[in-house]
Structure 1
Amino acid sequence: MTIAEVSKQYGLSADTLRYYERIRLIPSVRRKDNGIRDYSESDCNWVEFIKCMRAAGIQVEALIEYVALFQQGDNTREARKQILLEQREQLLARMEDMQRTLERLNKKIAHYDECLQYAEENLRKSGSSQ
Structure 2
Amino acid sequence: MNYSIKEVAEKFNISSYTLRYYEREGLIPSVQRNDNGRRVYTDIDLGWLQLVCCMRATGMSISYIKNYVNLCTEGIDTLPERRNIMIEQKEIIKEEIRKYTELLKLVDMKLDYYDEKISKDELKRFIGRKREKH
Look up the match of 1:9. 11
- Give how far 1:51 is off: 2.0
The 5-angstrom pairing of residues 40-55 of structure 1 reads 40-55=42-57
With normalisation by structure 2, the TM-score equals: 0.89
- Give how far 1:72 is off: 1.2
Q: Deviations over 1:81-109 (max 9, x none)?
A: 01100111111011001001111111111
The change in CA–CA distance for 1:117 and 1:108 in structure 2 (over 3 A counts) is: same
SS at match of 1:129: helix
Q: Is the 1:58–1:91 Cα contact (8 Å) retained in structure 2?
A: no
With normalisation by structure 1, the TM-score equals: 0.91
1:102 to 104, 107, 115: 104
Counterpart-to-counterpart distance in 1, 2:22 and 2:4: 15
Counterpart-to-counterpart distance in 2, 1:90 and 1:118: 42
Look up the match of 1:120. 122
Structure 2 residue 95 is matched with structure 1 residue 76:
no
- The Cα RMSD (Å) is 1.4
Ranges in structure 1 where 5+ consecutive residues have no aligned partner:
none
Percent identity reads: 35
Q: Is the 1:62–1:83 Cα contact (8 Å) retained in structure 2?
A: no
SS at match of 1:62: helix
Counterpart-to-counterpart distance in 2, 1:62 and 1:35: 29
